[in-house]
Every structure is written in structure tokens, then in C-alpha cells.
Structure 1
Amino acid sequence: MAATIDISGPGIFVFKELAETARVDIRLSSIPLISPEVAEFAASNYIMADATAGTNGAIAIVASGKVIDELVDELSKIPGLKPMVIGEVVRRGGGSLLVPDYVTKYIKDKSLLAKLTVASNILQGVARVRRTSRLIRAEIRITGKVQGVGFRPLIRRNAKSLGLTGVARNNEDGSVSIIVEGEEGNVKAFIESLSNINVAEVSNVDIKWSEYKGEYADFNIE
């Protein structure tokens, strides 16, 4: 485990400070907020210049993929906790913090936004997805350079952080098949994230939607 961070006060700029201190570039795929609606209202009405700050009440952990997987597994068993993967250290660099384009809903101060690298292609953030109680199932086939690169473990990590169940398996033709079940908004956020996993080169994502079956108790790799 490399670091643990209390982000209740400084919000996402704590990751900017970490990136500069460690001389790395960090990418956030999700902005951790207790209530995105309240944060957006506070920013839009100029109550807060940076509505990711304040009492968002979260602890961020920076660690290896294996440790993160174990933490997500263990913390998911504790009632009331919802662990999720919100980003990654992408490379050694100059201390950049790459954030999703929808960050502008929560930060209106242009001088603060200028310190961030806003990327329109980082769109998997679950904070902007409206959650619904409708449960669905998706059967997915992914082609491209997706085998032998660590793709399935990252798929599993994303799925578990969204509270989804299912399975990911390699096919003989070099593709990867996924069955995923859970809340509709989270399943769609998961599918959106598939093209943004850096270790793979995804060329096509085929999706078949069907009714929720409750077939899986966890998300597994086969």
C-alpha cells in the first residue's frame, strides 16, 4: 500500500498534491461525492468554488492492483461500505491530475480548473450516472488486443467497485466474453469503462441485453 488519503476536506485536489509530490500523473475516472446533486447546486450557485471539497467523507487508498482487489473484496463484506476504484496512477510525470470533463459541474472557479487536465474521453465516472433500482443483464463480446495483457482482472475490479456480478472469460478466437448483472446505471457505466482500460486495445464491443437472472453471487474470472 503506497498511501492513504483523507479527501473529506480538500476534495479531489488532494490527488493533485499527491501527483506533484510523487512526480506522477494520476487519472480519475470518477469523482467521489456523497451527493452529486448537492455538489452541483453548491457550485452552480457559487456557494462553493470547489464543491468536491467539504464533507464528502471518503478515504482514498493508493496501492497495487492485487492489494486493491483484496481490499474491494473485504470492504464489500462490511454493511454500509461501498468501496470503488476511482482512478489510477498512469505514469511517471510532472504531477498532472487528469479528470473527467463533467468536473466542471462541481468546480466553477476557472483558476482552480486551470490546475487540472480535463479530458473528455474519461467518461466512466459512476458519479454522473443516475442510479436506478432496475436490474438488468448484459452479455458482452470484446475484440481487439484483449488477452494476455491483464484485461480481465481490471474488468473484475471495475465490476466489483460498481457492485456488479458476473463472469469474464477468454475465448479461443482471442476475444473476451463478459456476462454482467446489476443496476442498470452501473451496468452501463461498466460497459462505458471497457474502452478506457489502458492495458488493452479494444476494437469492438458487442452487447446483448436481457432480463436479470441473478445467476452470480460475485464477479469472477474464468
Structure 2
Amino acid sequence: MADDRKATLVHISGRVQGVSFRIWTKTQAQRFGLTGWVRNEDDGSVTALIAGQDAAVSAMLEQFWNGPVGASVSSVVTKQASLDEAPSDFRITS
């Protein structure tokens, strides 16, 4: 049901650039059936918009704390977003 869908903007800090975090995020998001995007930020963090079923979004938020091999996540901050902001697929943006 559409009522079970939500979108969340996520800001991930720590050692998250230079460890294939964006590629890992895209792979995980697709595995969970999520749409959205992920990008590197100038301050060394990563921002992602994830959208999909509530349970899948929650599972992805837990996965962000692990990240890919080589990552060391120190912070995962979330903010509610609009489903209208999410694309129909999952993209790595610049």
C-alpha cells in the first residue's frame, strides 16, 4: 500500500568517502527495493535520499551504520522527506 511508503533524507558521517560507500548504498538500496539517490558532500560525509516501504527504509537505515568494508560510520542523522523528491530508481549523483 502507498500508506506504507516513506522517504528519509540521511546524512552519514565518518570515514565514508574513498571506501565505495555510494556504490555500496546503491546496491543495498536496490536489494531492499528502495528508490532515491546518494552523493558525496564536500565535508567528507555522504547524503542519501531513500524511499520505499517503511520496513525497507528502516532496514536500510540500520545498514548505514555498517557501511561497506573500510568504512567507519560515526553518525547517521535522518530527516523526513517527501516521496515526491525520490526518483523512480536509485542513482549515484555528484
Q: Check whether TM > 0.5.
A: yes
Name the CA distance, whole Å, in 2 between partners of 1:147 and 1:141.
13
Establish whether residue 196 from structure 1 lines up as the match of residue 89 from structure 2: no
Establish whether residue 205 from structure 1 lines up as the match of residue 76 from structure 2: yes
Q: Give the gaps of 5 or more residues in structure 1.
A: 1-131
By how many angstroms is 1:176 displaced?
0.3
Establish whether residue 151 from structure 1 lines up as the match of residue 16 from structure 2: no
Name the CA distance, whole Å, in 1 between partners of 2:86 and 2:73.
27
TM-score, length basis structure 2 = 0.89
Name the CA distance, whole Å, in 2 between partners of 1:144 and 1:176.
9
Q: Contact 2:49–2:86 (CA<8 Å) still a contact in 1?
A: no
Residue number in structure 1 paired with 2:89: 218
Corresponding residue SS for 2:65: helix
Q: Contact 2:7–2:86 (CA<8 Å) still a contact in 1?
A: no
Corresponding residue SS for 2:81: strand
Name the CA distance, whole Å, in 2 between partners of 1:133 and 1:216.
18
Report how many aligned residue pairs link the two structures. 91
Q: One-letter code of the match for 1:179?
A: L
Corresponding residue SS for 1:148: coil
* Greater relative contact order (CA < 8 Å, ≥ 6 in sequence): 2
Name the CA distance, whole Å, in 2 between partners of 1:141 and 1:214.
16
Q: One-letter code of the match for 2:92?
A: I
% identity of equivalent residues = 35
By how many angstroms is 1:186 displaced?
0.2
Residue number in structure 1 paired with 2:8: 138
Residue number in structure 2 paired with 1:185: 55
Q: One-letter code of the match for 2:78?
A: I
Name the CA distance, whole Å, in 1 between partners of 2:59 and 2:21.
17
Q: One-letter code of the match for 1:183?
A: Q
By how many angstroms is 1:217 displaced?
1.4
TM-score, length basis structure 1 = 0.39
Query: 1:26-37 maps to which residues of 2 (within 5 A)?
Result: none
Residue number in structure 2 paired with 1:176: 46
* Cα displacement string for residues 120-178 of structure 1 (whole angstroms, at most 9, x for unaligned residues): xxxxxxxxxxxx95110000101100001111111110000010000000000000000
More strand by share: 2
Name the CA distance, whole Å, in 2 between partners of 1:135 and 1:176.
23
- Report the CA distance shift for 1:186/1:133 in structure 2 as closer, same or farther (over 3 A): farther
